[in-house]
């Protein structure tokens, strides 16, 4: 890739600008064309991915609606997330009754951020399921959070009820050593994969502490789906 010494005199500036202009226009058209052409397909893909993930963590759901939870209320999601708002998905069954609420959580694990989606049910005031959205944990060790049945059982009834004045969780979600779980709000780590297990627990705690105090006082408004 060595530059060759030009033997002829340098090209005039106008010709360079003209060429760069043509190239820029052609490239611009290609990019915009590709973007517009794939926009609807990409949006559809994203919607399908979210739906699939939410249906997995809140069984029995047929539809989802996106909302923001803010200190002063709940609003349907539109455009960019305002600062201080937490995005969540309300899931409804075939009769448009609320089956649960799903939200994303993330915390740094061994290699990179572990992102999960968790499902919350107001009826039991607990988390009823989790799904891993993305992770780069060590295969064979950290990725056990995907398959270890005992670990996943932590999240079928994880207690996240709020304290008396609804300002925070009554008991913070904590990851404890394998074999020492004694309370419904504790997550028992996978032995040998403590870091990744802790990431899941921490992520859920951070997200729940931030979402539930804003959501629970307003949750009755979501009981039936508004189209």
Partner 1 sequence: MGHETISQIVVSALLANNFVLAMFLGLCPFLGVSGKLDTAFPMGVATTFVMLVASLCAYGLNLLLSAFHLEFLRLIAYIVVIASAVQLVEMVLKKYSPALFRALGIYLPLITTNCAVLGVALFQTAREYDFLQSMAFSFGGGAGFTLALVLMASVRERLQLSDIPGVAQGTALSLMLAGILSLAFMGFAGMGG
Partner 2 sequence: MTLPGQQEQKLSMDTFLEGLWRQNPTFVMVLGMCPTLAVTVSAVNALTMGLATTIVLVFSCWLISLLRKLVPKEVRIATYIVIIATFVTAVDYLIQAVSLALYDALGAFIQLIVVNCIILGRAEAHASKHPPLVALTNALGMGAGFTIGLFALGAVREILGSGSLFGLSLFGADFQPWVVMILPPGGFFVLGAWLLLFAWWKRRKGGRALIAEGQHHGA
The residues binding partner 2 (CB under 8 A) are 1, 4, 6, 10-11, 15-16, 19-20, 22-24, 26-27, 30-31, 33-35, 37-38, 41-42, 45-46, 49, 134, 138-140
Picked from partner 2, partner 1, none, the partner binding residue 16 (CB below 5 to 8 A depending on kind) is: partner 2
Q: Minimum CB separation from partner 2 for residue 64, in Å?
A: 17
Please tell me whether residue 201 adopts helix, strand or coil conformation: helix
Task: From residue 112, give the alpha-carbon distance in Å to each of 79, 116, 135.
Answer: 28, 13, 7
Q: Minimum CB separation from partner 1 for residue 63, in Å?
A: 29
Tell me which residue has tokens 């028992």. Answer: 188
Q: Minimum CB separation from partner 1 for residue 75, in Å?
A: 22
Picked from partner 2, partner 1, none, the partner binding residue 75 (CB below 5 to 8 A depending on kind) is: none
> Judged by CB, which is closer to partner 2: 140, or 179?
140
Determine the longest span between alpha carbons in the chain, in angstroms: 84
> Judged by CB, which is closer to partner 2: 26, or 166?
26
Sheet holding 126-134, edge to edge: 73-76, 63-70, 86-92, 98-108, 113-121, 126-134, 158-159
Q: Minimum CB separation from partner 2 for residue 16, in Å?
A: 5
Picked from partner 1, partner 2, none, the partner binding residue 140 (CB below 5 to 8 A depending on kind) is: partner 2
Tell me which residue has tokens 């990409």. Answer: 42
Closest residue by Cα to residue 89 from 46, 38, 149: 46
Neighbours of 85 (CB within 10 A): 19
Phi and psi at residue 95, in whole multiples of 5°?
A: -95, 20
Binding site for partner 1 (CB under 8 A): 1-3, 27, 31-32, 35, 106-108, 110-113, 138, 195
Q: Minimum CB separation from partner 1 for residue 110, in Å?
A: 6
Picked from partner 2, partner 1, none, the partner binding residue 209 (CB below 5 to 8 A depending on kind) is: none
How many whole angstroms separate alpha carbon 66 and alpha carbon 32? 28
Picked from partner 1, partner 2, none, the partner binding residue 167 (CB below 5 to 8 A depending on kind) is: none
Tell me which residue has tokens 């968790």. Answer: 118
Please, are residues 79 and 89 in contact by the beta-carbon 8 Å criterion? Answer: no
Picked from partner 2, partner 1, none, the partner binding residue 7 (CB below 5 to 8 A depending on kind) is: none
> Judged by CB, which is closer to partner 1: 50, or 113?
113
Residue 2 per-residue DSSP state: P
Q: Minimum CB separation from partner 1 for residue 145, in Å?
A: 16
């Amino acid at each position: 890739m060595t530059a060759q010494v030009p033997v002829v005199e340098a090209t005039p500036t106008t010709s360079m600008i003209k060429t760069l202009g043509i190239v820029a226009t052609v490239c611009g058209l290609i990019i915009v064309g590709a973007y517009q052409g794939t926009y609807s397909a990409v949006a559809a893909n994203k919607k399908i991915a979210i739906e699939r993930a939410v249906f997995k963590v809140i069984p029995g759901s047929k539809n989802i609606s996106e909302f923001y939870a803010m200190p002063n209320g709940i609003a349907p999601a539109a455009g960019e997330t305002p600062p201080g708002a937490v995005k969540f998905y309300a899931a409804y069954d075939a009769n448009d009754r609320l089956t649960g609420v799903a939200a994303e959580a993330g915390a740094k694990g061994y290699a990179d951020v572990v992102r999960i989606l968790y499902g919350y049910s107001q009826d039991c005031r607990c988390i009823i399921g989790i799904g891993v959205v993305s992770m780069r944990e060590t295969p064979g060790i950290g990725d056990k959070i995907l398959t270890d049945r005992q670990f996943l059982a932590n999240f079928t009834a994880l207690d996240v009820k709020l304290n008396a004045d609804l300002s925070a969780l009554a008991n913070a979600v904590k990851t404890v050593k394998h074999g020492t779980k004694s309370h419904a709000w504790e997550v028992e780590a996978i032995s040998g994969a403590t870091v990744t297990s802790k990431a899941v627990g921490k992520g859920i705690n951070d997200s729940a502490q931030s979402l539930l105090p804003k959501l629970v006082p307003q949750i009755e408004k979501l009981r039936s789906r508004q189209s």
